[in-house]
Structure 1
């Protein structure tokens, strides 16, 4: 199986996941995340604004604001360069050419050193933290020189042993995986 096939399988499973199960998984993930030292100690957290059928980050965003944390969201720039900008309830966002929600105003980029925790998106993960993302390598490029903490939140079927055989030399593993349960 190659990455394209694995992406298709996981996306199909995500789309077919019953709403009630998805909601229970999301609550489980938020509870687990808030109990981690990485979350508790982080002042600035990077997160992608999810879109269906991805693992939902809406509860996480609200919890971060409720906990007084600064959120930053990514912008997918030229040359596959990822950069992050502050995200608050007042931030104007727009959809990128990839369909991702990104900040309209990109005047004050938040430097890597100021980001304490990145919630790294993906589709499939090995038990060692290697992931198959959505393609493009934006996060692997960014994480190559990032020294903060990384966590991915995933549904049980996204932990896929096949992912290990698809690892490439430039892949950067996520430090901690949180797996939802009902």
Structure 2
């Protein structure tokens, strides 16, 4: 199967989940994240605002702020084909952006941080990225929506963080054909 077919089948499987199932599975994922050593050791969390039938991240993002961690959320610049992460301290300040996804309007840009100065050699333990995706396999490969926004961001900044995809079991596939520009995740938090 090619990536387009995998994407289509995985989206259909995810969309078939009932609202109650998505809610329960999202809650399971939230608890797994909040109790993970990667989360507990992190100071900065790059997350996302869920869209359509994705793992719901509203309560997760609230918990990140409540726990006193620095939360960064993405803003997509479709004309430039880039995504930038901005610090968010109040989730009510988000506005609909690209594809209607809630986004920050600006703020401290993740790219402006001097991470090595902030964390030194403990860098990987201190920055955690939680990202969406359409499908994943057991080898750490993932498929997004096809725009390459996360891959481009991670190509530049991925070595500075631990990367975990949030997904439902229904999004698992046997194998995803990798391409040279694909960035693998360090793990998948499954509900």
Give the TM-score, by structure 2 length.
0.84
- What is the alpha-carbon root mean square deviation over aligned residues? 1.9
The structure-2 alpha-carbon separation of the partners of 1:59 and 1:97, relative to structure 1 and needing over 3 Å to count, comes to closer
Alignment gaps of 5+ in structure 2: 119-125
2: CA distance, partners of 1:130 / 1:16 = 23
Asked whether 1:118 is paired with 2:119, we answer: no
Asked whether 1:19 is paired with 2:30, we answer: no
CA contact (8 A) 1:26 1:59 kept: no
Total equivalences in the alignment: 177
Give, in angstroms, the shift of residue 148 of structure 1: 1.1
Alignment gaps of 5+ in structure 1: none
Secondary structure class of the residue paired with 1:145 = helix
1: CA distance, partners of 2:2 / 2:99 = 22
Q: Which residue of 1 aligns with 2:161?
A: 148
CA contact (8 A) 2:76 2:98 kept: no
1: CA distance, partners of 2:52 / 2:173 = 20
CA offsets per residue over residues 71-121 of structure 1, 9 Å max, x none?
1101112432221111122552222233322112x2531226377111021
Q: Which residue of 1 aligns with 2:179?
A: 168
Secondary structure class of the residue paired with 1:144 = helix
Give the TM-score, by structure 1 length.
0.88
Secondary structure class of the residue paired with 1:74 = strand
CA contact (8 A) 1:7 1:132 kept: yes
